[in-house]
Amino acid sequence: QFLWGSFHFFTIMKWPHVVEKEEEEACGVKFKTFSDEDELEGMMKLITADLSEPYSIYTYRYFVYSWPQLCILAVHPDNEKEIIGVIVCKLDKHHKKQTNRGYIAMLAVRPDFRKRKIGSVLVRKAITAMQNDGCHEVVLETEACNTAALSLYQNLGFFRDKRLRRYYLNGGDAFRLKYLLCSPDPWLTGL
C-alpha cells in the first residue's frame, strides 16, 4: 500500500482479481454480459433512477455495442429480463500515457437488492474483464457527496485521484477515482 496525499491509500491488485462462484451465488442474482437491444430499456430505467446525470439512448448504445463484454448485468435468477443491477464500462488508450485505461461510466443496483454485495461483484467482474483485455488502470467519477459510492470504491481498492469542481450539471463536485492494475505475472499464473 502507498500513501497518497494525507488520507488516500491504494493497492495495486495482483492477477487475477476474480469473483468466486460462491460470492456470485450469495448475491441472489445471476450475472451476464449485455446481449441485445431488448435489455437497454431496463438498463436505462435503472440507471436513470439512480444517477444524477441524464444519458441519451445513444450514449448507452455507444458503450454497449462498442464494449459489450464490459457491460455486465445482474438479473433476477428466475427472470433474466428483470435487471437488478448494471455496470457500464469502456476501455481505450489513455491519450497521454499510451496505456490502456478502463472507465466505469455507470453503476446502479435496484434499492430493494442493495446490501447484498451486488455492486461490489459487478465492479470486480468489470475490472477482471478489463484486465483480461490488457487494462492498466481504471478510472471513474462520482459525486463528492455520494458517501455510499465513495465507500464502495474505496473498499475495492480505488483511491481519490482528483477533485473536480462543479463537474456535474447540478453544480456538484466530483472525485475522480483511480484503480491501478498489475500485468499478469507469468510466475503466478503459470502462463
Q: Report pLDDT digits (tens) over 101-130.
A: 999 999 999 999 999 999 999 999 999 999
Q: Is 176 left (phi over 0), alpha (psi -120 to 50) or beta?
A: beta
Q: Kindly state the average pLDDT of the residues 54-72.
A: 95
pLDDT reported for residue 18 = 67
**Position of cell 449485455?**
34
The pLDDT of residue 183: 56
Tell me which of 186 and 73 has the higher pLDDT: 73
Q: Is the dihedral of CA 78, 80, 81, 82 positive or negative?
A: positive
Pairwise CA distance, residues 47 & 56, whole Å = 11
Q: Is the pLDDT of residue 5 over 80?
A: no
Which domains, and CATH codes, for the chain? 2-184 (3.40.630.30)
Query: CA–CA separation, 171 vs 127, rounded Å?
Result: 29
pLDDT of residue 50: 84
Determine phi and psi for 125, rounding to 5 degrees: -65, -40
Q: What is the pTM of this model?
A: 0.85
Range of lowest pLDDT (1-15, 18-32, 64-78): 1-15
**pLDDT exceeds cutoff 70 at 169:** yes
| pLDDT category of residue 95 using cuts at 50, 70 and 90 | confident
| Whole-number pLDDT of residue 72 | 98
Question: For residue 71, what pLDDT band results from cuts at 50, 70 and 90?
Answer: very high
